[in-house]
């Protein structure tokens, strides 16, 4: 077994315990994507734990930045997640800006930063979740800006769902992610409420409003999912369905995410995983263009500017397409060269 395989095996155990929803959905990914995805998520999980720890050192964020630098220098720390990620970013040409955005989001968390408007909140969501959506696209061999935009939408939606679910838990830890302007509109003083977080109809309306924003982004993300490689769609659709279901559970709890924490049962997850398999049978050929959300735009630009050397890989179908496209390019080049040669002969005559 290679070092990378050993490292991925260790990362898998980390995710099996630390992120059950992701682990369940990841089992639907083809192995060529599943292994690098597990390596990516394991690093994200471990670094998040470091940055978010109660006893986190003041220089924790700076330490993560240096750790990331060593990964991109090809000199990762002696940890399975770091070694595996170093291989992944090299092979898939993942721009460092995407992982740097993630760490910046962790820094905002460590500062207990609050957000006045929804747009400001989405700037945060783009860093901690949109960046991951963009990186997952690259693991699937998709660098089309339109598809990456939809992957970022999915990340934004999932993070809004997390925020709606964890309002009470976050507040008890002195954190407030709900847009302050929304609370003020409902007659709530954000600072006073944070000192004594209680559920009431006004807070319920704010949570409901946040879920509606998430649902709109989930709907936009559908376009991107159905344009992913066919064997990757079920896993991403499963993640989308499971996270959206958290919103439905919050609604069933009367939008009380202060005293209650919405949980999707194992039985419901299995049902949603089965539903996700059906996405392989459909394809969205819509040409409708939806611009990327401004919060995600800089992530997409980082991918566009990044140097990329296509790799020969993927499913059998994708390999066939790759070969056909290559042969077409070779033939076009041959024809152009033939035209140039004929023109040169005419000029010589």
Q: What percent of the chain has pLDDT over 90?
A: 57
Q: Inform me whether the pLDDT recorded for 145 exceeds 90.
A: yes
Classify 3-311 by CATH class.
Answer: mainly alpha
Q: Which has the higher per-residue pLDDT, 10 or 43?
A: 43
Q: What is the pLDDT of residue 211?
A: 98
As a whole-number percent, the residues of the chain with pLDDT over 70 amount to 80
176, 124 Cβ separation under 8 angstroms: no
Contact 42, 84 (CB under 8 A): yes
**Does the pTM exceed 0.75?**
yes
* Residue 203 pLDDT > 90: yes
pLDDT at position 175: 95
Per-domain residue ranges of the chain: 3-311, 315-349
Q: Which of 128-132, 183-187, 246-250, 329-333 has the lowest mean pLDDT?
A: 329-333
pLDDT tier at 219, thresholds 50, 70, 90: very high
pLDDT digit string, tens, across residues 155-198: 999 999 999 999 999 999 999 999 999 999 999 999 999 999 99
pLDDT at 226: 84
The predicted structure's pLDDT at residue 316 = 47
Range from 33-47, 125-139, 266-280 carrying the lowest mean pLDDT: 266-280
Per-residue 3-state assignment (H helix, E strand, C coil) for the chain = CCHHHHHHHHHHHHHHHHCHHHHHHHCCCCHHHHHHHHHHHHHHHHHHHHHHCCCCCCCHHHHHHHHHHHHHCCCCCCCHHHHHHHHHHHHHCCCHHHHHHHHHHHHHHHCCCCCCCHHHHHHHHHHHHHHHHHHHHHHCCCCCHHHHHHHHHHHHHHHHHHHHHCHHHHHHCCCCCCCHHHHHHCCCCHHHHHHCCCCCHHHHHHHHHHHHHHHHHHHHHHHHHCCCCCCCHHHHHHHHHHHHHHHHHHHHCCCCCCCCCCCCCHHHHHHHHHHHHHHHHCCCCCCCCCCCCHHHHHHHHHHHHCCCCCCCCCCHHHHHHHHHHHHHHHHHHHHHHHHHHHHHHHHHC
Residue 216 has pLDDT above 80, yes or no: yes
Average pLDDT, the chain: 85
For position 4, what pLDDT does the model report? 82
């Amino acid at each position: 077994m290679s070092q990378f395989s050993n490292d991925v095996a260790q990362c898998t155990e980390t995710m099996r315990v630390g992120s059950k929803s992701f682990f369940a959905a990841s089992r639907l990914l083809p192995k060529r994507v599943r292994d690098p995805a597990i390596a990516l998520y394991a690093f994200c999980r471990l670094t998040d734990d470091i940055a978010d720890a109660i006893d986190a050192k003041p220089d924790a964020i700076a330490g993560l930045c240096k750790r990331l630098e060593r990964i991109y220098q090809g000199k990762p720390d002696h940890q399975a997640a770091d070694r595996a990620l170093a291989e992944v970013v090299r092979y898939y040409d993942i721009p460092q800006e995407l992982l740097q955005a993630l760490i910046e989001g962790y820094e905002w968390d460590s500062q207990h930063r609050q957000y006045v408007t929804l747009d400001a909140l989405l700037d945060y969501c783009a860093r901690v979740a949109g960046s991951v959506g963009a990186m997952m696209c690259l693991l699937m061999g998709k660098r089309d800006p339109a598809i990456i935009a939809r992957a970022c939408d999915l990340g934004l939606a999932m993070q809004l769902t997390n925020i709606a679910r964890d309002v009470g838990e976050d507040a008890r830890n002195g954190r407030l992610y709900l847009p302050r302007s929304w609370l003020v509109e409902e007659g709530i003083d954000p600072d006073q409420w944070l000192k004594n977080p209680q559920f009431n109809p006004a807070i319920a309306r704010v949570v409901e409003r946040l879920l509606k924003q998430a649902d709109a982004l989930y709907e936009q993300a559908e376009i991107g999912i159905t344009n992913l490689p066919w064997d990757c769609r079920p896993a991403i659709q499963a993640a989308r369905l499971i996270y959206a279901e958290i919103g439905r559970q919050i609604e069933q709890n009367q939008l009380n995410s202060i005293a209650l924490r919405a949980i999707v049962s194992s039985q419901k997850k299995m049902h949603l995983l089965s539903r996700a398999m059906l996405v392989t049978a459909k394809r969205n050929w819509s040409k409708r263009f939806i611009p990327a959300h401004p919060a995600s735009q800089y992530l997409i630009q980082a991918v566009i500017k990044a140097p990329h050397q296509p790799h020969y890989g993927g499913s059998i179908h994708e390999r066939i397409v790759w070969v056909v496209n290559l042969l077409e390019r070779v033939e076009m080049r041959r024809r152009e060269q033939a035209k140039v040669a004929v023109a040169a002969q005419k000029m010589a005559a």
